[in-house]
Each structure stands twice: as C-alpha cells, then as structure tokens.
Amino acid sequence: MAHAPLLEQNQITTIAAEDERLYEVVDGERRELEPMGAFETALASALAYYLGPFALQHKLGLVVTETLFVLDAQRNLKRRPDVAFVSYPRWPDDQVPRAEAWDVVPDLAVEVISPTNLAEEIDDKLTDYFTAGVRLVWVLFPSSGRVYVYQSPERVTGLDRSDELDGGEVLTGFRLPVATLFEAVRKPKGGP
C-alpha cells in the first residue's frame, strides 16, 4: 500500500502563510499586500474600536477591518481598506456574506500608511474608492500623527493631533480627537 509523502514542517508553514496573505485584485490581477506593522495594525484596531460601537449603537451599519470589497465587478476590482464602514442601506443582503469578498461599496474607507506604502498606490486607491462610490476616505499617517480626510480626490482636509475626526454625513455625530486615537496605542503614563 503506497502512502502519500508527509509534508515537512517548513512546507506546511509555507502553505499556511500563502493562504493567509492578504491581497487585492486590480483589473483582474491579484496583488499581494505587504502586512501592516504592529503599530499600524494597533492604530487601525483602535480606530475600529471607537467607530464600531458608535455605528452599532446608532444602528448605522458595521465597521470592519481588512475586509476585501468588490468595488467594480466589471473591472474585477477588489480593494481591502484597513478599516471600513458599511451603512445598512448599502447591504445587498440581510447579513454579511460568507464569501471571499463582500460585494458592496463601503461608505467610509480608511488607509493607515505603513512604511511600505507608496504614494502612487494610495492615490490609486483614493481614485478607485471614489469612482466606486465610497463617500469618505481617511488616510492616517502614524509617524506624523496626521490624518487626511478626503470627501473627494480633490477635497481634502488635513488634521493634526489638536483636531477632531468628524464622521460628517457618513457617520453623523461621530467625533474623535485625533490625539485620543494616537494615544490609544500608547501605554498610559503612571500605569502599571
């Protein structure tokens, strides 16, 4: 009786790592995404922590992280914002599908800039988001503590730590001091 060869541990690890890699699809071409660093991931998680309960409490929609969205099926365009908000009216079904990608355009897309991000790449994402119907894009720069709020590719407001993020018409009533967001990823002074 022939036995299938056993996979070595490093082969199993490689297979698992390839399955877990994040990607986007642009014009039908799969593009691997560099993983976010620990700081950038913590910052995205902190923002989701503040946005999610607000959206749920006010019955506005759902906040998700690193979810793949079908922005344009004809063009085979799928983007994966670091954080996104999808209002309930935009949901095509009663629940989030159990699928590779959610076939819906989010209302808000957030990109947290990592050292590996290129300016052209972010500019392309902004264009794709707004062309697809995203209503608001926030771009966070962890090293400077700045946030750029885009209402369109041409309408942008720069915020620093002394300003507040405002949900505008997308998340009406949501306000978060930029300093509070960046302090969420720091150990409190005087703490244990």
Backbone angles phi, psi at 63, to 5 degrees: -105, 130
pLDDT tens digit string along 140-168?
Answer: 999 899 999 999 999 999 999 999 999 99
Average pLDDT over residues 162-189: 93
For residue 7, pLDDT over 70 is answered with: no
Confidence of residue 78 (pLDDT cuts 50, 70, 90): very high
Of 93, 73, 152, 81, nearest to 117 by C-alpha is 81
Contact between 167 and 50 under an 8 Å Cβ cutoff? The reply is no
Give the span between the Cα atoms of 138 and 149, in whole angstroms. Answer: 5
What one-character-per-residue DSSP string does the chain give? ---PPPPPHHHHHHHHHHHH--EEEETTEEEEPPPPPHHHHHHHHHHHHHHHHHHHHTT-EEEEES--EEEETTTTEEE--SEEEEEGGG-SSSS--SSSSB-S--SEEEEE--TT--HHHHHHHHHHHHHHT--EEEEEETTTTEEEEESSSS-EEEE-TTSEEE-TTTSTT-EEEHHHHHHTTSPPTT--
Mean of the pLDDT values across residues 170-182?
Answer: 96
Give the domain 9-183 fold. Answer: tt1808, chain A (3.90.1570)
Residue 20: what pLDDT?
A: 64
The model carries a pTM of 0.85
Q: Give the per-residue pLDDT at 10.
A: 47
CA torsion sign for 171, 173, 177, 182 is negative
45: confidence class by pLDDT, cuts 50, 70, 90: very high
Q: In the chain, where are the structural domains located?
A: 9-183
* Closest C-alpha to 145, from 123, 126, 161, 164: 161
Question: Does pLDDT of 65 surpass 80?
Answer: yes
pLDDT digits (tens, 9 = 90+) for 21-43: 788 788 888 888 888 889 999 99
